[in-house]
Every structure is written in structure tokens, then in C-alpha cells.
Chain A
Amino acid sequence: MNNIAKIIFLDILKSKITFVYFIVLSLVTWISFLVEDSLSKGLLTVAYIVLFSVPLMALLYSTIYIYNSREFITLLLSQPIKRGTLWSSLYLGISGSLCLAFLLSAGIPIIIYSFDMTGFLILSIGTAITLVSVSLSFLIAVFTDDKSVGIGLSILLWMFFTLLYDAIMLFLLFQFSDYPIDKLTVLLLMLNPIDLARLQIMMRLDVSAMLGYSGAVFTHFLGTTFSTILSFILLTAWIGIPYRFSLKIFREKDIV
């Protein structure tokens, strides 16, 4: 298992696209810290980039990677290796290399400029989002055999999480604004991993404003240890559940 994971890990690290991802992300992070006149503004820009580009890259890249390594997977399946072992080492290899690329590119400037809880939060959120995206792309890859459909689905999924979900929620919020739906909105937003990450970052960087709006919802809910634990559970679920499903489908499949 470790051997396969290592091969894939190194293969991805050597690829040009990962290198470009690494270079672009580190450049953008450095520049946003250097150009913005205050640290908190720099951190906000970086958080923006992380929430926008990391899921896109992880989703697209790993979906494409799985489709492209079909022959390699078929070859390995002809060896005496359990299907479950192969799938998990594939996951380890892909997610490990993408996380490393993210941590090396965005991590260094963040640690240099903001070595505190906020910096740590952004880094762990970036890592978690990478893991979630890779899990989802595994599910997409076993869901359809057609590569172009798979890629289309992953772009659609990214659009859904970053834009459409918020749009629907905002629409519902305005429609039902006469009812006490604050808590429900928070809960529904927390179901989207990107919104979940955004809320956590906002709680740190816009504290003053967050405490203003009907303080109850935010401080009594989002600021508590309960919500931290809930966020952790939800993120773990977002990593675990799609992966488990993909594993189940992969096991029952004929070849790939």
C-alpha cells in the first residue's frame, strides 16, 4: 500500500501542473502579504484565494488524474492487491501531494507573516478543503466512466459549492426573513464545506462586526466549543463519506 502511495505521490509532485500550482499559489500569497498595507487585509486576501482556488485545483486535478491513470490502475489490479488497498493508497498519494504543494506554497508566507492562530486556521482549512475536494473527485470518478462528463461534474460541483449554494441560501433568507431562521441558516451554511471554512475565518478576522449582528447567533453558536466540534465533525464527514461511497462503488465494480 505504501509503495503505491509513494509512487503516485512522487508522480504528482513531478508533474508540471502541480509545479505551476505551487508557483502560482506561492506567488499570489507572497504578493498579497507584500502589497496589502495591513496584515489583516493580507490575511483576508489569502483566505479568499485559498477558499477559491484550492477546491478548484484539487477537484479538477484529481478527477483528471484518476481518469488518466486508468491503465495504471488496471495494471495494478492484475496484481495480487486488494481493491480497497489500491483505492486508499491512490487517495493517500493524490491528497498527500496536493496538501504538500499547498502547505509549501501558501504555508511559508503565512507562517512568516502571521505565526498565530489565524495563520494556523487558514492553513488547516486549506488542507481540510483539499482533502474534501479529493474525496469528492474520487466519488465523481467512480460515478461516471466518461472522462468529459466527470470533468464537467467536478466543475459543476465547484460552482455549486462556491456560488450556487450561497445564492440559493441568500434567496431563501430574503424570502423567509420575517421568520426567525437565523440558526437554521447557520446550520444550513455549515453543511457546505466552503461556507463552513469561510464562517470560521470570518469569526477570526471580522470579530467586531460579527459580534454586532444579533450577537446571539454568532457568539452563542459559532463561537462556542460545540460549534468548533461540530465544524470538525462536519469536515471529517465531508472527507469520509464521499470517500467511503467511492470505495464501495469501486469494490463492486468490474475492473475500473
Chain B
Amino acid sequence: MGRYRFLIFWLSLLISCSFVSLLTAGNLHVGKGWPVTAIAEALQTANAGDSIIVHEGVYQEKLVISTPVILKGIGFPVIDGGNQGDVVSIFTDRVVVEGLTIANSGKSSLTDYCGLKINKGCSGIVINDNIFSDNSIGIFVQDAEDCRITNNRIGTSIEESVLMGNAIHCWKCKNMEIEGNHIRGHRDGIYLEFVSNSIIRDNNVAKCLRYGLHFMFSNEDDYFYNLFSENGAGVAVMYSTNINMLYNTFDNNKGGASYGLLLKDISQGNVAGNKFTRNTVGILMDGGLSLILQDNIFSENGWAVRLMASSTENRFTRNNFLGNTFDITTNGTSEKNYFSENYWDKYRGYDLDRDGIGDVPYHPLSLFAVISEYTPAAMLFFRSFLVDLLEQAERVIPTVTPSNFMDERPAMRQYAL
């Protein structure tokens, strides 16, 4: 019993000590009318665990954070980098940056300057509820782990593409959580290179010059409930495996080289529950392997799915294809992709046994989709009577379109998704 009492004594001492240390973690106030007027000064005197409260105002300084502190703004004080170098750099773990406006990083076509940089080896950083404006790169995370980047508003007025960087740029990271950010007008909205086991959710990315979201060599990531609209080229997922893409909306990505979602050399992913609306190309799949695409809605796209010949073993099931100019197009005669139980609004078959599945297979590949794949200018003749006649003839006797490119069990009714 005595031994236990001894243990309890030490435990309680330990707990009370840690409470004391929490209580003594001080609040440092920075701002006009407070003893400290520069944030850099406060950062030098702060101990680990301190909170630095920054009051409203404009601070013309660049911050280097090398003690684990909580940097919190009241009324979004502006940290102005004066168009030179990085505005905020973090070199240590467990830093919280919250409620600041971080503006005007350096702008260069040679060096990547950024609004906030999380440097090599840091972990447990939280970047929450900040405003980033006119930075070359908004947030740059370099070789870090377990960081949360949440609820930031990131935008820029830079227009020259050589000076423009990505809004959130992660390189070689693990366990990142990028959530609820609002991104406008950067080069890529969210750029991930060698990033694994991360979650990207509820972001709203629009009007980026290039991609809304860009994966390179990043495996085992999930992104869901994001909205990507009016980006130069949509969303690109390249050279990655095991990516789950769920419940996102890809809207209004239009242009000569635009698509809602580009899947380039990726394998074993899930694309489910997404909405692809009004894109020039809904999904462009080039070198996709064993992907599962189900419960998606494709509506009012130019081409719902462009399946390049290098894509194999992909399964399209229970998707709705509504009001697209072309449902599917391909440049090969691929037979190794499976379509089953999709709803095609162009399907004209019947269902005698009333099981909800059409009795005649549907060929989603139209003659004109194939022709315009080889001679794009033929699009000029689309919806003319001549083309319509050719289309009917092709339907009766398929010569150009591969005859086994079909959905054997087309759904009669639209899925409620």
C-alpha cells in the first residue's frame, strides 16, 4: 500500500507541475499602446507555449518563428512582407498561427517566395483562419508532418504567370489535413507532391490559372466534399495510387485543354459520388488502371468521359449521364473497361421484364465522337442532318465504333444521387 501512496504522490506532483507550467505560459500582447510594438521582438522574448496576441494594425516585418508559440491575431492584423522574401517562416514544432493577414511576399521568377513557409522537419503546426493576399505562394509546406491548414482565405492579384505560385504547396509531407480553405486566383489551388496519408476536404477552389487541385506522386490520400470551379484546367491527379475522390463537385471548367478531372497514370483509386457539371471534358483518363467510378453525375458536359487507349480495367457503374454532348469518347478500340448499370439519357431501349435494366445493351460511343477525335474540325458539322443520317446508319451497322464498347445492363431510370 505504501508503495502505491508513493506513486500517487509523485503522479499528483507531476500533474500539478504541468498545470503550473501551463498557467505560467504567458500572454504577450503586441500592438499600438502595448509595451511591445513589433512581433519579432515578442517572438524573441517568448518562451515555448506562450501566446502572442497581435492587435489590429499593419506590421511591416518578416517573422521567423523558432519557438513553439501560439501567434494569434485580433481583427486580422496585417503582416506586410514589403514584396521581399518570405513573410512568415516556421522552423519549429507545435506552432499555431491564427487570425492574421499575411500579405506581399517577394515576387520572383527564380525563387519561390511565400506568405508562410513551414520548413523541413516541423510537425504539429496549425494554420487556421488566416487571410493570405498577394503572395507568390500562399502556404509552402516543405518536408513536414501532421500539419493542419484550415479555414484560410487565400487569394492574389498577381497576374503574370511567371510570378504566380500555388496557393497551398506541399512537398514531401505526411498526415496533412487541408480543410475548409477558400482559394482564388493562384496558379494551382492546392499542389501536392510526394504527400501521403493526407486529407483534403471542404475546400472551395476557383479561378486558378492552372489546376484547382494537383496531385503528383502522392499516394494514399483522400479528398472529399471540395468544390472546384472555373479553373484553367480543372483538377489533375497524376502518377499516384490509392487516392479516394469522393463527393466533390467539378463545375464549369471550360476551354481548349480543360477538364473537370484529369486522371493521368494513376491506379487503384475510387471516384465516387462526384458531380461533373458543365465542363468541356468531365473526366479525362490517360493511363488509368483499375479505378472504380461509381455513383457520379455527369451533366451538361461537352464530353462526359474521354478514355484514352492506355486506360484499362476501369469500372464505371451506377453513374448518371445527363445532357452531355458526348457521353464517352476514346482514341482506341479498348475493350478492357467495364460499363454496367449506368443511366444514359440517350438510351432508347426497352425493359420488357421490368427489372429496371434495359434489355438491349447501350453503345455509349457515338460515331461522331470517334470522328471528331481524329478530325476535331468535324465538330463544325455536329447536329447537321447529314451527320444524323450517318449516325443512324452506324447504329444499325457499326463499322467505325468498336462494337463491344458497351453497357450491357443500362439502367432505365436515373439514380437519385
Contact B301 A169 (CB under 8 A): no
Contacts of B301 in A (CB 8 A): 208-209
A26 to chain B, nearest CB (A): 22
Contact B377 A177 (CB under 8 A): yes
Number of interface residues of B (CB under 8 A): 32
- Residue contacts A-B, CB under 8 angstroms, 29 given: A44-B383, A48-B383, A51-B385, A52-B385, A162-B384, A162-B385, A163-B386, A169-B381, A170-B386, A173-B381, A174-B378, A198-B383, A199-B380, A201-B383, A206-B302, A207-B278, A208-B280, A208-B301, A208-B302, A209-B280, A209-B326, A209-B382, A211-B255, A211-B256, A211-B280, A212-B302, A213-B372, A214-B376, A214-B377
Instruction: Tell whether A173 pairs with B256 under 8 Å between CB atoms, given A162-B385, A199-B380, A208-B279.
Output: no
Q: Mark out the residues of chain B between 217 and 272 whose CB falls within 8 Å of any chain A CB in the assembled complex.
A: 254-256, 258
Contact A163 B385 (CB under 8 A): yes
What is the CA–CA distance of A51 and B385 in the complex, to the nearest angstrom?
9
Interface residues of B (CB under 8 A from A): 254-256, 258, 278-281, 300-303, 322-323, 325-326, 345, 372, 375-387, 389
Answer yes or no: A74 CB below 8 A from chain B CBs: no
What is the CA–CA distance of A214 and B376 in the complex, to the nearest angstrom?
7
Most chain A CB neighbours (cut-off 10 Å) among B256, B322, B345: B256
Answer yes or no: A116 CB below 8 A from chain B CBs: no
**Beyond A209-B302, A212-B280: 5 further Cβ-contacts under 8 Å?**
A38-B345, A169-B381, A185-B377, A201-B383, A209-B303
Number of interface residues of A (CB under 8 A): 39
Partner of A185, one of B256, B300, B380: B380
Instruction: Tell whether A173 pairs with B377 under 8 Å between CB atoms, given A38-B323, A208-B280, A211-B255.
Output: yes
Most chain A CB neighbours (cut-off 10 Å) among B278, B326, B382, B383: B383
Contact A40 B377 (CB under 8 A): no
Instruction: Tell whether A189 pairs with B281 under 8 Å between CB atoms, given A173-B375, A208-B325.
Output: no
Contact A40 B380 (CB under 8 A): no
Partner of B302, one of A162, A173, A210, A216: A210
B375 to chain A, nearest CB (A): 5
A131 to chain B, nearest CB (A): 21
Contacts of A34 in B (CB 8 A): none
Q: Tell me the number of A-to-B contacts counted with CB atoms below 8 Å.
A: 100
Q: Across the two chains, which residue of chain A brings its CB closest to B377?
A: A182
Partner of A215, one of B255, B322, B383, B384: B255
Contacts of A214 in B (CB 8 A): 256, 376-377
A59 to chain B, nearest CB (A): 15
A203 to chain B, nearest CB (A): 11
Contact A167 B386 (CB under 8 A): yes
Contacts of B372 in A (CB 8 A): 213
What is the CA–CA distance of A163 and B384 in the complex, to the nearest angstrom?
8
A240 to chain B, nearest CB (A): 25
A205 to chain B, nearest CB (A): 8
Q: Mark out the residues of chain A between 167 and 183 whose CB falls within 8 Å of any chain B CB in the assembled complex.
A: 167, 169-170, 173-174, 177, 181-182
Contacts of B323 in A (CB 8 A): 38, 40-41
Contact A170 B381 (CB under 8 A): yes
A166 to chain B, nearest CB (A): 4
Q: Mark out the residues of chain A between 118 and 177 whose CB falls within 8 Å of any chain B CB in the assembled complex.
A: 162-163, 166-167, 169-170, 173-174, 177
Contacts of B382 in A (CB 8 A): 202, 206, 209
What is the CA–CA distance of A22 and B379 in the complex, to the nearest angstrom?
33
B413 to chain A, nearest CB (A): 11
* Complex A-B, nearest 7 residue pairs according to Cβ-Cβ distance, in ascending order: A209-B302, A215-B256, A208-B302, A209-B325, A212-B280, A166-B386, A213-B379
What is the CA–CA distance of A37 and B382 in the complex, to the nearest angstrom?
22
Answer yes or no: A64 CB below 8 A from chain B CBs: no
Contact B256 A216 (CB under 8 A): yes
A34 to chain B, nearest CB (A): 16
Answer yes or no: A256 CB below 8 A from chain B CBs: no
Contacts of B381 in A (CB 8 A): 166, 169-170, 173
